[in-house]
Amino acid sequence: MDCPYACKGSQRHSSRLIAVQLLYQIKQSDISVDDAIVQFKNWIDCDEDEVNSLQTNVKKKRALKKIDIAFINTLIQGVIDYKNDVDGCLSSHVYSDFKRLPIVLLCVLELAVYELLYETIPPQVVINEYIEITKYFFNEKEQSLVNGLLDAVNKCVKHRCS
């Protein structure tokens, strides 16, 4: 895959993909959301000659400059602020201990569940976006898991709200 940040053409899609990666970084290195975003912004703002002169890296950096940092921050901070709700929702739909899932998959699910619970984006858009994002990291098995879990969460959210 050449440049996943630009291939979908959607600023929101690229922002969600970056949110998954930054949430993973936060979980792995125990840094704050603000620190992760500052590090990311510093990386995309640095001079292209300083990084690596490979053409794909330059393309990637140009695509990343178009993402929505505020949306990324909202997503990650939302997962952190509403951790109990997000985790509770996940745990009620996963038959085993969901915290034993691979961390990247857990990040995908947490961000998606947060969006389903608290954002006004149509649920089918959220589900499809995170299935697509899962494809960057995993195979069909995990994509099916994400699809099934998010569909179950969405049904639960719709039932709760109606």
Long-range contacts of 50-56 (CB under 8 A, 24+ apart): 56/2, 56/3
Q: Which residues contact 56 (CB under 8 A, 6 or more apart)?
A: 2, 3
The count of C-alpha atoms lying within 13 angstroms of the C-alpha of 150, restricted to the half-sphere facing its C-beta, is 29
Q: What is the pLDDT of residues 92-130, one digit of tens each?
A: 887 777 778 899 999 999 999 999 999 999 999 999 999
Closest CA to 58 of 67, 50, 66, 48: 48
Closest CA to 105 of 5, 113, 161: 113
DSSP conformation letters of 70-130: HHHHHHHHHHHHTHHHHHHHHHTT-SS-GGGS-HHHHHHHHHHHHHHHH--S-HHHHHHHH
What is the reported pLDDT for 162? 41
What is the reported pLDDT for 97? 76
Domain interval for residue 14: 4-161
CA 103 to chain CA centroid, nearest Å: 12
What is the reported pLDDT for 54? 47
Percent of the chain at pLDDT > 70 equals 80
Long-range contacts of 34-42 (CB under 8 A, 24+ apart): 36/76, 37/69, 37/72, 37/73, 37/76, 41/69
pLDDT higher for 32 or 97? 32
Looking at the structure of the chain, the number of domains it has is: 1
Percent of the chain at pLDDT > 90 equals 60
Closest CA to 69 of 87, 51, 48, 42: 42
pTM: 0.84
CATH of the domain at 121: 1.10.940.10
The average pLDDT across 12-23 equals 94
What is the reported pLDDT for 158? 79
